[in-house]
Structure formats: C-alpha cells, structure tokens
Amino acid sequence: MFKIPVSVLVVLHTPDLQVLLLERADAPGFWQSVTGSQDAGETLRETAVREVREETGLDAAQFVLSDWNQQNQFEIYARWRHRYAPGVTHNSEHVFGLLLPEVLSITLSPREHLDQLWLPWREAAEKCFSWSNAEAIRKLGEGR
C-alpha cells in the first residue's frame, strides 16, 4: 500500500522553547521533528496525534496541540519515492506545534528513530535536515 502524499510536521517544544529532535533510523545523521503521512480517513489533527504517539509514546491530547495553519509543498526525496504511488513526486506538509510543560522523557520507536535531542530552538533549527522543519522552528522562536 502506498503512502498518501499529505503529511504532518509536529514541533514538540516547551514554554522556554526547548525543541525535540529525532534522528531518523533510515537516514542516520538526519534530524527532524515528528513527521508522518496521513492515513486514509484521518483528519490532519488525528494524523498529528497518531504520529506523536507512535514516535514518542506521548499522548498529544494531554497537551496543547496547535494547528499553525502553515502548509509546505516540497519534492519528495528520491530515496523515499518508492513509498508513494508511481508518478507521485511532491508532498503537502501541514505544520502543528505541541506545547509540553517541560522537557519530557519519550519512548523512541526503534523502527523509525535512533536517538533524540532536546535543544534550544536556534540550535534545533540549525540541526534539521529539512528546510521546512528548520523554518517552522525558526517561526516558533521568533514568535510566529
């Protein structure tokens, strides 16, 4: 079954703007926020909640999940295009923020991630491999 080319990016952060980054298992050295493709029949909010649970073990419903009303279009990296239907080359990404009360312990999905880091927002933005992820973190830090 092919992935739907619609995804969420969820920036997990604290009030003092510590940001969680995860290192991809399928691309060591690639750091990012929580991301994932929408499943058939899901709303974008449901996708965000599911992806946060799968990738961190946290229940996003216990915290403040905000739709930042930001959408990015980008070309899917060639290395991951096989996951999509033939001819699909672009993805539509929808950005959310998840405000946590403090830096929390998370449970990584070893199938998806190798490591985790909590960093101040500027450092987190610099470490992201994805331009859209870095941009979202910068907007957070600059007061959106």
Q: Given pLDDT bands bounded at 50, 70 and 90, which one contains residue 56? A: very high
Q: How confident is the model at residue 143 (pLDDT cuts 50, 70, 90)?
A: confident
Backbone angle region of 88, left / alpha / beta, with phi > 0 → left and psi within -120 to 50 → alpha: beta
The pLDDT of 31-47, averaged and rounded, is: 97
Instruction: Give the residue-averaged pLDDT of 25-33.
Output: 95
The answer to whether residues 48 and 6 touch, using CB atoms and an 8 Å cutoff, is no
Residue ranges of the domains in the chain?
6-141
- The pLDDT mean for the chain works out to 96
- pLDDT for 144 beyond 80: no
Sign of the CA dihedral running 108, 113, 115, 120: negative
Q: What is the mean pLDDT of residues 102-122?
A: 96
Topology (CATH level 3) of domain 6-141: Nucleoside Triphosphate Pyrophosphohydrolase (3.90.79)
pTM of the shown model: 0.95
- Mean pLDDT across 111-132: 96
Which candidate, 57, 72, 52, places its Cα nearest to that of 12?
Answer: 52
